[in-house]
Structure 1
Amino acid sequence: MALAAALALGAAGCGDDGTDTGAGSGAPSGGTGGAVTVFAAASLTESFTALGKQFEQAHPGTTVTFNFAGSSALATQINEGAPADVFASAAPKNMAAVTDAGNGGGTPVTFVKNQLVIATAKGNPKGITGLAALAKPDLKVALCAEAVPCGAAARTAVEAAGVKITPVTLEQDVKAALSKVKLGEVDAALVYRTDAKAAAADVDAVEFPESAKAINEYPIVVLKNAKNAAGGQAFIDYVLSPDGAKVLTEAGFQAP
């Protein structure tokens, strides 16, 4: 009788409705829970961190882990086999590096756009008003390396302005370039509007017209080798939802 009762309990636990409790499977009820790993551009750090917390609250049993870095570095990691469910790039070029290698699990969707500003020390002590000022030999300027989206956008904007800027450092992601300003190691850096806004307590943002010619589109996709493709798609759906758009818009991103 004890054995029969145990078997009955086991059967009830499995059920015939396809529902999994998620114990050890990483996919609780609905198939969208468990662990979700998101590789995202560094400029998405603040907004995606907030969205991750909201997503976890909306999907009990889910945990979202982020890897924030330059989009080119993330694309390389994914193509070399790093485990991830979702890739959010700061430019289509780096997304193409993943999809062209056959590692995209679907069609990338553009979810936001971003634009450059000049980040200066608080109060703009050097009186920087535009890109032409960054060409002055007495100014120390940080740029992103051209391999990453913020660097490619900077190059486009600088060429559009017809000026020549000689940076004292080339950084591998936008957060690193911004930190140079915050630490007082440079006088200015070309960063995204969203990053300058997130660091508004420490830096000022100077808008310049040429940035309109170097707007970056951000695509997102579930990856081919995702361990939790359902959870990854659910996260993307949340990013694209009104709640996701609200967080991204408040961070300074533009609608796609």
Structure 2
Amino acid sequence: MRARRIRATLAALALMVLTGCGGAAQTTGPRPAAGGVTGTVTVLAAASLTESFTRIGRDFEAANPGVRVVFNFAGSSALAAQINQGAPADVFASANPGTMRTVTDAGNGNGPTVTFARNQLVIAVPEGNPAEVTGLADLARPGVKVALCAEQVPCGAAAKQALGAAGVPLTPVTWERDVRAALSKVKLGEVDAALVYRTDVAASTADVDAVEFPESARAVNDYPITVLKDAPNPVGAQAFVAHVLSDGGRSVLTGAGFQVP
């Protein structure tokens, strides 16, 4: 009986976090009570969240002994398609609102979405920047090989917007399925540059440098999160979202280079 009361209290608390903040993330959020969550929480999250959400997942498990968080990291559009095709999951964290809307418009969200982070693009180049790329215009120079995310992926949509703002026509040598795949082309020396998120370069090893460019301010991505309608573990899902919005979750995200909404 006492365990049921604890779980009911946790569910109500997590729901208050989501409904009380509408479409914007709170500056603080409650931590899930230890022992109040059970089972497995399955989270589908944008590839650019890999390191930060892995850390948040470990912290969440430590706060809730016996709970296991299982992640599927991929391009947001691919994850949204999986959800709309019936893939079982508890939480979806997208790298832009448009992709999240494809899930909520299909009726597969449970309650409002919450923006929990923001991210900006940089130009990733091999260490030492051998092609001497200093801005977007350099990406269109003859002989400069560039990787971009596919346009249906949030990082690709942001790249298209930034290039349009700069008036730079660009045809990449490769379109990649997500931001990590684009960055890997730089690491492998297959391209001279790629447009990726600032956080991805920050999480990378020393073999990649970042070139900032002013037009990135015109293509900032908001990251929304939501509990899914058919979540197998709705209480765990609500608690995980609450943890992402908490001071501890926020600290991990800002430490990884994400901006506060």
1:42-191 equivalence runs, <5 A: 42-191=47-196
Indicate the residue corresponding to 1:25 in structure 2: none
Indicate the residue corresponding to 1:217 in structure 2: 222
1:204 to 195, 203, 209: 209
1:243 aligns to 2:248 (yes or no):
yes
Q: Which one has more relative contact order, counting CA pairs under 8 Å at least 6 apart?
A: 2
Instruction: Kindly provide the amino acid, as one letter, of the partner of residue 212 in structure 2.
Output: E
- Percent identical across equivalent pairs? 68
Q: CA deviation at 1:202?
A: 1.7
Q: CA deviation at 1:106?
A: 1.0
Instruction: Kindly provide the amino acid, as one letter, of the partner of residue 82 in structure 1.
Output: A
Indicate the residue corresponding to 1:13 in structure 2: none
Rounded to whole Å, the distance in 1 between the matches of 2:135 and 2:48 is: 22
Instruction: Kindly provide the amino acid, as one letter, of the partner of residue 216 in structure 1.
Output: N
CA RMSD of aligned residues (A): 1.6
1:178–1:189 Cα contact (<8 Å) kept: yes
Indicate the residue corresponding to 1:12 in structure 2: none
Indicate the residue corresponding to 2:27 in structure 1: none
Q: CA deviation at 1:32?
A: 2.0
1:35-46 equivalence runs, <5 A: 35-46=40-51
Rounded to whole Å, the distance in 2 between the matches of 1:190 and 1:69 is: 17
Closer/same/farther in 2, CA of residues 53 and 122 from structure 1, 3 Å limit: same
Rounded to whole Å, the distance in 2 between the matches of 1:59 and 1:52 is: 10
2:35–2:64 Cα contact (<8 Å) kept: no
1:160–1:210 Cα contact (<8 Å) kept: yes
Instruction: Kindly provide the amino acid, as one letter, of the partner of residue 207 in structure 1.
Output: E
Indicate the residue corresponding to 1:230 in structure 2: 235
Instruction: Kindly provide the amino acid, as one letter, of the partner of residue 120 in structure 2.
Output: Q
Instruction: Kindly provide the amino acid, as one letter, of the partner of residue 94 in structure 1.
Output: T
Indicate the residue corresponding to 2:2 in structure 1: 17
1:120–1:189 Cα contact (<8 Å) kept: yes
Q: CA deviation at 1:165?
A: 1.1
Unaligned runs of 5+ in 1: 1-15, 23-28
Q: CA deviation at 1:17?
A: 3.1
Q: CA deviation at 1:33?
A: 2.1
Indicate the SS of the match to 2:2.
Answer: coil
Rounded to whole Å, the distance in 1 between the matches of 2:46 and 2:3 is: 36
Deviation readout 1:163-193 (Å, 9 max, x if unpaired): 1111000001000000000000101000000
Rounded to whole Å, the distance in 2 between the matches of 1:186 and 1:226 is: 40
2:35–2:65 Cα contact (<8 Å) kept: no
Q: TM-score, normalised by structure 2?
A: 0.87
Instruction: Kindly provide the amino acid, as one letter, of the partner of residue 162 in structure 2.
Output: A
Indicate the residue corresponding to 1:3 in structure 2: none
Rounded to whole Å, the distance in 1 between the matches of 2:90 and 2:168 is: 41
Rounded to whole Å, the distance in 1 between the matches of 2:170 and 2:153 is: 18
Rounded to whole Å, the distance in 1 between the matches of 2:152 and 2:160 is: 11
Rounded to whole Å, the distance in 1 between the matches of 2:224 and 2:36 is: 24
Indicate the residue corresponding to 1:253 in structure 2: 258
